[in-house]
Amino acid sequence: TAATIGGNVVGKHFTLPNYPGTTFTINGVFEAFPWGASLHNTQIILSMSSLPYVYSYDGRDNWIGNDSYISYIRLARGHRADELKPYVDKMRQDHLPLKELRKMGADFTFDFTVLSDVYTHDPYIKMMSWILSIVAFVLLFTSVMNYLLIIVGNLVGRSREMAVRKCYGAKPKNIHAIIFSEALVHVGLAVILAVILVFLCKGTIENFLSAPVSALILNRGSWILVMICLLVLLVGGLVPGWLYNKIPVASAFRGYNENRNRWKLTLLGIQFAISGLLFSLLYIINSQYQLMLGINPGYDYDNVAIVSVDGINRDQRNQCLAEIKRMPNVKECCSTYHIPLNGYGRSGNMVQKPGDDTNTFNIMDMEGVDDNFFKMMNIPIVQGTFFTERNDSCRQVIIDERGAEKLINIWHWKDGVVGKQITCSGHADGVNPLKLTVCGVCKNIRWGDMSADGDDMKEFPVLYFYAAKTAYYMLVKFKDMQDESLAELQSKVQSLYPNNKVIVKSYASELANQYSSQLKFRNGILVAGIVTMIIAL
């Protein structure tokens, strides 16, 4: 970023559209985070104290909530993370209303994970690593077995050649040297061919890695590639040499003809069994991927685009949405502060009954949605109505069926939840929580992907508030979404705000991107299966 700006940037000033009136000063330049780091592509790190109140507020007057942030702690040399737990317990005793929390059936603490273990200890990542490691081993094993199969196939002819060499004084070590030198040439040619294939398939490989090829080869893992080549060289060089030294000279000249059919059938059988295993695995993974991609999330996202513009206020967003509606290919528009997809943020709060602090449960807070959200996204209101009091709609909420069921079970509202009052943390008039009236119940929707955050998160209820003005994310439904539709929309919005960052994306593509790791995994198994079958054939 510093190089893009002009190199020597220390002391320079800049502003951000999201924080009008605030001038920032560049105090230093940090080294770029490497590929694979969770902070890769971080361009600017802002000082908390220099940001407006919304970010410099540290939340110390609200210990219920403000509990979902990630912090980094560098331990002093020779100390472990579990040594911090007594201090964490003291903090909880000093600041948290633990008794009240337990009455409500809730409790929470803080845990520590070594940063280098966050990724590798993830159960899903561990499972994928095991499967991909097995696939890699299978590919190497099949290749080496195929090489040995060729050697065994040529055993009769070459055994006479080796017998002649023995007659001229060749010792076992000389035979080993000949075979080993041949294997060295073969492995060398294979490495050259591999480099050519990597170069030709560079785009596909980088899509698999989400990083340049150089990041794979020229890093700490490069020694693994060297060790694999050496292992293949040793197997391909020592085993055939041992076989040739085993055959007596007299047997070779008398027409030594060992039955090789059993060797061939065994090795070929192993190769085809492995290929069948990989294709069976591919079928299962592809079926799972198609299931995840095709499952109904509870709303209609066909022909829908997501639009966001940084650094504009609610009135400007209102103007922007009005201009979008005038586009000839646009069918409907709506807006929301949250989108139920990974990477688009989410807020969690606690729901209670006014005057009853003994029962509570956690909900996903959609914050504000506008008049057209439920209709455009085809989320039916099954009980009650949409927000009815526009001038006081912040005191009305719509809850989904899961949330309504919890309210009925906890407070025994046998006549339903419509018209009942609740409170929600994070929504207060300054001191006291707002009393919110449930005006409607809508169908359940899926938040995030099918594997996100475990089963508990999949069953989280969702609470909707009313947004009187256009919310941050604008959703646009096209009459017919063509390839150029998104480009036209991007161009239109960018022309309205030429100095602001405009992002336009397809909702369907963003939903599919939630399963990009599964897609790459499927494609990896497909490549492995094809390569193994080619080798076997």
Question: What is the number of residues in the chain?
Answer: 537
**Nearest-angstrom CA–CA distance, 276 and 280:** 6
Residue 76 pLDDT: 92
The alpha helices in 475-515, defined as continuous H runs, are: 485-496, 507-513
The residue to which tokens 């040739």 are assigned: 244
**Nearest-angstrom CA–CA distance, 196 and 385:** 64
Q: What is the CA radius of gyration of the chain?
A: 32
Beta strand extents in 265-329 (DSSP E only): 304-309
Query: Tens of pLDDT along the chain (537 residues)?
Result: 898 888 789 999 988 777 777 888 899 999 988 887 778 888 888 776 666 555 555 666 667 666 666 778 899 999 988 898 899 889 888 888 788 777 766 777 778 888 888 888 888 788 888 888 888 888 888 887 777 777 777 766 677 777 777 777 778 788 888 888 888 898 899 889 988 988 888 888 887 777 788 777 777 777 888 888 888 888 878 877 777 777 776 665 665 555 556 767 777 788 788 878 888 888 888 888 888 888 888 888 899 999 988 888 888 888 888 888 888 888 989 999 998 888 887 777 888 888 776 677 788 888 888 888 999 999 999 998 888 766 565 688 899 998 899 888 888 888 888 888 888 877 777 667 788 889 889 998 888 777 655 555 567 889 998 888 888 899 999 988 887 888 888 888 898 888 888 889 999 898 888 888 888 888 888 888 888 778 777
Q: Which residues, other chains included, contact 383 with Cβ-Cβ below 8 Å and sequence gap of 6+?
A: 404, 416, 417, 418, 440, 441
The residue to which tokens 């018209």 are assigned: 419
**Nearest-angstrom CA–CA distance, 500 and 494:** 8
Residue 218 pLDDT: 75
Reading the block at residue 440, the tokens are 């409607």
The residue to which tokens 């591999």 are assigned: 194
Q: Are 502 and 486 in contact (CB under 8 A)?
A: no
3-state class of 398 per DSSP? strand
> How far is the CA of 401 from the CAs of 181, 464, 466, 492, in angstroms?
72, 12, 18, 38
Instruction: Map out the domains of the chain as residue ranges.
Output: 1-57, 59-70+79-112, 123-291+522-536, 304-500
> How far is the CA of 102 from the CAs of 60, 83, 116, 183, 221, in angstroms?
21, 25, 34, 69, 48
What is the pTM (predicted TM-score) of this model? Answer: 0.74
Q: Are 520 and 344 in contact (CB under 8 A)?
A: no
Q: Which residues, other chains included, contact 141 with Cβ-Cβ below 8 Å and sequence gap of 6+?
A: 274
Measuring CA to CA, which residue among 403, 398, 256, 376 is closest to residue 321?
376
Reading the block at residue 471, the tokens are 């919310």
3-state class of 149 per DSSP? helix
Q: Are 338 and 346 in contact (CB under 8 A)?
A: yes
Measuring CA to CA, which residue among 279, 255, 275, 343 is closest to residue 306?
343
2, amino acid identity: A
Reading the block at residue 155, the tokens are 């055993």
Q: Are 439 and 387 in contact (CB under 8 A)?
A: yes
3-state class of 277 per DSSP? helix
Q: What are phi and psi of 171, to 5 degrees?
A: -95, 170
Q: Which residues, other chains included, contact 499 with Cβ-Cβ below 8 Å and sequence gap of 6+?
A: 17
CA 31 from centre of chain: 25
**Nearest-angstrom CA–CA distance, 108 and 510:** 33
Reading the block at residue 306, the tokens are 């997501």
Q: Are 266 and 149 in contact (CB under 8 A)?
A: no
Reading the block at residue 448, the tokens are 């995030």
3-state class of 440 per DSSP? strand
Task: Say if residue 377 is exposed, middle or buried (CB neighbours under 10 Å; 0-12, 13-18, 19+).
Answer: buried
